[in-house]
């Protein structure tokens, strides 16, 4: 069947969500060598449902009625223009293909469709497997990002030997605290913990659209329905309040550390380290990788922390481009300038009232 299909012509086109076949899409993602949970239609649907939510569509390579490669694209509209961007809780997207598809030869078709459908890409990140599969064209700004992944296919003792000295020391300290780790049925307590203790630092002063938490919980519900989640909270023995927690997503050969939170006590007394190590110990010796989900930008101390487990640095590519007509670019610049003047004027008025 595969050999017969290989002789058939392949078409590559962009489809909005309403026009693509979710069953064929998900089958392609599931069978792809690049498989990641972020690319499944049910996960993207959850993240793009609700008032003010973004939308998504995809570039589809189809052969003989079968989707053989797909590329999800999440987008919003601004100034009446549709623009693509990388949504929260989707670290990597990119192209997901069945065996036997030569992406190096076909990637130009995908990039042509992307440029035709989206003249403005604020940010788009390809998955780590695409690094050696694609040829990125000129006209795109290409940025290398780094993620950290720890293979667990060795005995725990061998994995532990590669922990940094600080990690071993702090693990011993955590052992003396007496952490109790419990699995919970939903995300609310973990999100509350994150919002109270970690959100401000995580967003770096950027105005956060709080509806993202509602959409994220819907996505987690989809993962939970498929038996792919562990929502853990850690408390001290004899106490009721959780001091740290984490959402771990288990999908075949990958465990993704998708979300976490910790109070000052939880951070200082290494509750998250205790949880991560517990999961590493459980899956050690199996053909599984632990994906730390390193932040794409900044947070160098966080990346160094993940690397201290002996994790591998895995590069992946982010692209951006602005191929809008010149008069639209000028209009955008004018809007930004007027907005800057408005902010400065409001600041001056406030200073005048408080002088």
pLDDT in tens, the chain (355 residues): 443 366 778 999 999 999 999 999 999 999 999 999 999 999 999 999 988 899 999 999 999 999 999 999 999 998 788 999 999 999 999 999 999 999 999 999 999 999 999 999 999 999 999 999 998 888 889 999 999 999 999 999 999 999 999 999 999 999 999 999 999 999 999 999 998 887 666 655 556 667 888 999 999 999 999 999 999 999 999 898 999 999 999 999 999 999 999 999 999 999 999 999 999 999 999 999 999 999 888 789 999 999 999 999 999 999 999 988 755 555 555 445 544 443 344 343 333 433 3
The pLDDT assigned to 208 comes to 62
HSE at residue 92, side-chain half, CA atoms within 13 A, is: 27
DSSP for residue 154: S
Cα 302 to Cα 52, 125, 207, 231, 297, distances in angstroms: 31, 20, 22, 21, 11
The pLDDT assigned to 195 comes to 86
Ordered alpha helix ranges (H), 127-230: 156-161, 165-177, 188-197, 199-203, 211-225
Q: What is the CA radius of gyration of the chain?
A: 22
Domains of the chain, first to last: 2-142 (3.40.630.30), 153-287 (3.40.630.30)
What span, in angstroms and rounded, lies between the C-alpha atoms of 91 and 267? 24
The pLDDT assigned to 138 comes to 85
Number of H helices, E strands in the chain: 13, 13
DSSP for residue 5: H
- Best CA proximity match to 256, nearest among 218, 230, 233, 235: 230
- Best CA proximity match to 260, nearest among 305, 321, 319: 305
Helix or strand or coil: residue 199?
A: helix
What span, in angstroms and rounded, lies between the C-alpha atoms of 330 and 211? 31
The pLDDT assigned to 212 comes to 87
The pLDDT assigned to 197 comes to 85
The pLDDT assigned to 21 comes to 98
The pLDDT assigned to 137 comes to 85
Q: What is the pLDDT of residues 276-324, one digit of tens each?
A: 999 999 999 999 999 999 988 878 999 999 999 999 999 999 999 998 8
């Amino acid at each position: 069947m595969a050999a017969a299909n290989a002789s058939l012509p392949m078409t590559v086109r962009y489809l909005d969500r309403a026009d693509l076949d979710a069953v064929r899409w998900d089958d392609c993602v599931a069978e792809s060598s690049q498989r990641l949970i972020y690319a499944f239609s049910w996960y993207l649907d959850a993240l793009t449902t609700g008032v003010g939510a973004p939308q998504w569509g995809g570039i589809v390579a189809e052969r003989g009625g079968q989707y053989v490669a797909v590329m999800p694209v999440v987008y919003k509209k601004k100034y009446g223009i549709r623009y693509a961007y990388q949504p929260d809780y989707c670290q990597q997207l990119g192209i997901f293909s069945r065996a036997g598809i030569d992406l190096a030869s076909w990637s130009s078709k995908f990039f042509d469709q992307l440029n035709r459908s989206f003249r403005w890409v604020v940010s788009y990140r390809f998955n780590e497997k695409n690094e050696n599969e694609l040829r990125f064209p000129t006209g795109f700004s290409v940025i290398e990002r780094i993620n950290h992944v720890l293979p667990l296919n060795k005995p725990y003792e061998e994995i532990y030997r590669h922990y940094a000295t600080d990690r071993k020391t702090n693990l011993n300290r955590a052992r003396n605290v007496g952490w109790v780790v419990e699995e919970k049925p939903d995300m609310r307590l973990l999100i509350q913990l994150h919002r109270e203790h970690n959100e401000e630092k995580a967003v770096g002063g950027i105005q956060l659209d709080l509806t993202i938490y509602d959409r994220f919980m819907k996505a987690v519900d989809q993962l939970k329905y498929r038996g792919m989640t562990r929502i853990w909270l850690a408390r001290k023995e004899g106490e009721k309040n959780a001091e740290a927690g984490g959402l771990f997503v288990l999908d075949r050969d990958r465990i993704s550390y998708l979300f976490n939170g910790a109070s000052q006590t939880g951070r200082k007394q290494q509750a998250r380290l205790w949880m991560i190590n517990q999961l590493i110990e459980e899956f050690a010796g199996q053909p599984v990788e632990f994906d730390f989900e390193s932040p794409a930008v900044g947070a160098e101390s966080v990346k160094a922390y993940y690397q201290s487990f002996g994790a591998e640095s895995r590069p992946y590519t982010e692209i951006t481009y602005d191929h809008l007509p010149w008069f639209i670019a000028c209009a955008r610049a004018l809007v930004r300038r007027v907005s800057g003047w408005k902010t400065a004027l409001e600041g001056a008025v406030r200073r005048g009232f408080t002088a």
